[in-house]
Structure 1
């Protein structure tokens, strides 16, 4: 059970310090694409029908925020709100937000989740990505098509956004981690993966973001 003292509030929906009066929907510390990804993953977490799937989305959100020394929670009372705040405000041992560590409420970001980010939108995004896969397969064959499909699977499972919206670091994550550990590609696929990525972006009529493979 969360604990608290005179300088802390329990880190759970019915007790955490409410940053709403000073928090904003934008941040000078978090890049816009990180905030957007955190919101997307929060919607996917809440829409998931399987607990393991929901946990995976929550963990993914934690990972991308951790890179910027931020953490998050979904405040469910009244209208659900995603709250992003600096990790330094949180006391891990006590499981509380330490009010004495909050130097500036405007550093927190609050994103309303009710009535926004319809899960149907994510279906539309996945359909778009699958259309890119189909275009690559039709124009360049099954080997490139299989690689394109693996990229679409990665984006759908981890980011839920159009493939061409991936950042360089996200594409590098696919190329150096996901593709190696999770895709089980054939030798032919491995030989042409970089070309396959370029063909997907060509189908989307967008340049490939810079990434080190």
Structure 2
């Protein structure tokens, strides 16, 4: 069918990150189905390749498949496959854009849930922006654990109220971050 447009790759990556960050299996499946639909519109499919502790989204043409298996004899040009790293640090060149997004998330948490949750969201935003150069909603379960158990207690200087609210604050921040994808004009 042709090449996969950059916007479709970006959307597939966004949906994959949301699926990986979701805690509910039905939500994960909904994101995966939406990703499949986006890619199918262009004759592509996706899989996740695990490389040690890293994960990579691989989008490749459907014509390479036979009963769900990639047939190497059908691959004429490997450059048609697109790969996006899903774990580990993001692109440091995108830091300003990532930090601005994460700042908007903090503001939304403050507006909807108050100062304590906003302070926790601010710490999480700083962690994701500065340590991973990625948006809050892309945080994996391991990265959320690293934040709670290492960064938050050592670097955020949380008040007792913040410490008691952190388990509630993180889902609020993730929900606020995901809501930007459903807002028009965001």
More helix by share: 2
With the length of structure 1 as denominator, give the TM-score of the two structures.
0.44
Kindly name which structure, 1 or 2, has the bigger radius of gyration based on alpha carbons. Answer: 1
Using the size of structure 2 for normalisation, the TM-score is 0.50
